[in-house]
Amino acid sequence: MTDGPWAHAVTALRLLSIDPSGLGGLWLRARAGPVRDAAFGLIPGLLGQPVKLHPAWDRDAFLGGLDLARTLTSHHECRNPGLLARDAAFLMPSGERLEPEKAAWIATALGRDGAAGTRRCLILGDESGAPDEAPPILLTEQLGLFVDLTDVALGDIDLSLARAGATRPLAEVALAPADIDEMVTVAARLGIDSLRAPLYALAAARAHAALAGRAVLAEDDKRAAVELVYTVRATQLPAEDAPADPPPPPEDRRENDNPADAGQGDLPQDLLVQAVALRMAELRIERAHAARRRGAGGDGAGAKVAATRRGSPKPSRPGRLDGRGRIDLIGTLRRAVPWQTLRGAGPGGMAVRILPSDIQIKRYEHHSDRVLVFVVDASGSTAMTRLAEAKGAVELFLSRAYARRDHVALIGFRGTGAEILLPPTRSLVQTKKHLAALPGGGGTPLAAGLVSAGDLARMSRRHGLSPSILVMTDGKANVALDGSADRAAARADGERAARAIRLDGIDLAIIDSGMRPNPYLKDLAGQIDADYVPLPRADAHGLSRVAGALLDD
């Protein structure tokens, strides 16, 4: 399956066109606009003309009822069947406004006559920006697929991906017992307790195999299924799983005479679980920051900054004519006029006498620009992989910075210290120039990286920017601030540096890039109330999406 939310949405609609009754439908989270309209525009070509539903309609429109006009003219009872009686694809653009009772009607209709061959399914639009505004869960549980198009730009749309039909009949795609066991086990590892979810995942995998012309499931089919079905239902990240058993001793491995069986273990399951991890991380960060915004009354933009020349107007305040502020003439007159009887006429017969205490100065408030500071672990033998991912993430993030007025900066730490490789900028040309070649190797001075990031964030704040810090490391800190190779001192210095960042009110997120989640990083994030995201297989696109979720439009 092609990566990216838009490609996922197209794939989901294509899977629905192959097995609508088996998948139930698609929960599509997207803001009202051209991107959502483009996704909805693909439905007629793949599923036929949909039956549109509206959350404000009454029971008779959904379920049918007495047709009074026909009953009176024909002298016998006549009833309308209702829209939900049709065997068609249904489309509801604003599912977050749906009442639970109406959601129950639709859920019942989707479960009715669900035998293979029926075309009944639902594409449920969701414009909500927070989990407590989402559509009723009793309806979303009936929809096998989920896609989030919130951060998709108009330029990301590729209509050529929408090709109808499968290259192999669905009935010819077989499920092996091992496929069923694997999907159920992955669901359990992700904390999914619904038995319906593995059924949807198996149906999605079969439909995906039919698209590719395969008679048996491949790993690509299973991966597409878990990403579309399990992401929104998962309740725990792989980091919360129990640690894997240690590998068998070398002599046991030599006794294995069948090379095909060697190295099997839980590797396919691990790959499927990690395919969901990145999507879960994005959703978890979005939900956490949405909750913080609701609690703080913010909207996810930069910090509010008082101004005297531009921004949203605020109530005027008393002030002086010092040339720095603008006088609020109406406010000044309103304050001076009630005192005119006592003050008498002004000099030269002035109608209104204004004193310095009457002067009112206009006030404005605007949101400052934001800066995301990437702090990248450049130590060790795998440094080049992480640096390549970070470079790609910075460039991807910059592609949206112009519209969002965001800046990015890059700090690398290795050896005995940290270095600012890229100061805050929105210049894509300058970014590529600075990221052309980054050195790697040596120790892991995590504390130095955090101290450097904190200093850069504070400096950015003094220049009117709202900073956030994203640290990407495996957490194996072994170099203290004084340059000594002392693991205990290195961890203690890192904790103090992280606390200093949080005490200054700077958002901090930690991405664990190690092959196994590091308990030290998780504890560190917990101590300072920072976001912790284990992403052992994060790529540039994934890191860029997580960074976007951190800033949360």
The gap from C-alpha 6 to its chain's centroid, in whole angstroms, comes to 14
Please compute the mean of the pLDDT values over residues 169-174 and round it to a whole number.
Answer: 88
CA 130 vs CA 29, 127, 294: distances in Å = 11, 9, 9
Return the minimum-mean-pLDDT range out of 112-126, 214-228, 243-257, 501-515.
Answer: 243-257
Return the minimum-mean-pLDDT range out of 3-12, 28-37, 118-127, 275-284.
Answer: 275-284
Please compute the mean of the pLDDT values over residues 283-304 and round it to a whole number.
Answer: 45
Q: Count of residues for the chain?
A: 553
**Phi, psi torsion values for 372, nearest 5 degrees:** -105, 120
Q: What is the pLDDT of residue 16?
A: 92
Q: What is the pLDDT of residue 87?
A: 87
| Residue in the block written with tokens 């609020």 | 328
Q: What is the pLDDT of residue 38?
A: 92
What is the per-residue pLDDT across 17-72, written as a single tens digit (0 to 9) for each? 999 989 999 999 988 889 999 999 999 989 999 999 998 888 888 988 878 778 77
pLDDT over threshold 50, residue 209: yes
Percentage, residues of the chain above pLDDT 90: 19
Helices (H) and strands (E) in the chain, counts: 22, 16
What's the chain's average pLDDT?
Answer: 77
Are 493 and 481 in contact, with CB atoms under 8 Å apart? Answer: yes
Q: What is the pLDDT of residue 423?
A: 86
User: How many CB atoms are closer than 10 A to CB 512?
Assistant: 25
**Phi, psi torsion values for 407, nearest 5 degrees:** -115, 160
pLDDT over threshold 60, residue 296: no
DSSP helix/strand/coil, 305:
strand
CA 288 vs CA 227, 240, 550: distances in Å = 21, 18, 9
DSSP helix/strand/coil, 257:
coil
CA distance 107 to 378: 51
User: How many CB atoms are closer than 10 A to CB 346?
Assistant: 13
Strands 370-377 and 406-414, bridge-based pairing: parallel
CA 14 vs CA 9, 168, 193, 319, 415: distances in Å = 9, 13, 27, 64, 50
pLDDT band per the 50, 70, 90 thresholds, residue 330: confident
pLDDT band per the 50, 70, 90 thresholds, residue 163: confident
**Token digits of residue 404:** 């969002």
Domains and CATH numbers, the chain: 5-165 (3.40.50.300), 167-239+267-299 (1.10.8.80), 305-367 (no CATH), 370-551 (3.40.50.410)
Spatial strand order in the sheet of 51-52: 51-52, 89-92, 121-126, 25-29, 145-148
The CA radius of gyration of the chain, in Å to the nearest whole number, is: 29
**Token digits of residue 206:** 């079969």
Q: What is the pLDDT of residue 117?
A: 62
| Residue in the block written with tokens 């664990």 | 512
CA distance 206 to 200: 10
Are 33 and 20 in contact, with CB atoms under 8 Å apart? Answer: no
136 versus 428: the higher-pLDDT residue is: 136
CA distance 295 to 289: 10
Q: What is the pLDDT of residue 165?
A: 64
Q: What is the pLDDT of residue 243?
A: 44
CA 273 vs CA 183, 189, 217: distances in Å = 10, 8, 17
Return the minimum-mean-pLDDT range out of 110-114, 141-145, 293-297.
Answer: 293-297
pLDDT band per the 50, 70, 90 thresholds, residue 199: very high
> Which of 399, 405, 388, 367 has its CA nearest to residue 152?
399
CA distance 141 to 120: 16
DSSP helix/strand/coil, 412:
strand
pLDDT over threshold 50, residue 101: yes
For the entire predicted model, the pTM comes to 0.56
311 versus 85: the higher-pLDDT residue is: 85
Are 75 and 68 in contact, with CB atoms under 8 Å apart? Answer: no
- Which parts of 94-212 fold into alpha helices (H)? 100-111, 137-140, 177-189, 196-212
63 Cβ neighbours under 8 A, 6+ residues apart: 82, 84, 105
What is the per-residue pLDDT across 354-396, written as a single tens digit (0 to 9) for each? 888 888 888 765 455 788 888 888 777 455 556 677 667 666 7
Return the minimum-mean-pLDDT range out of 243-252, 268-277, 515-524.
Answer: 243-252
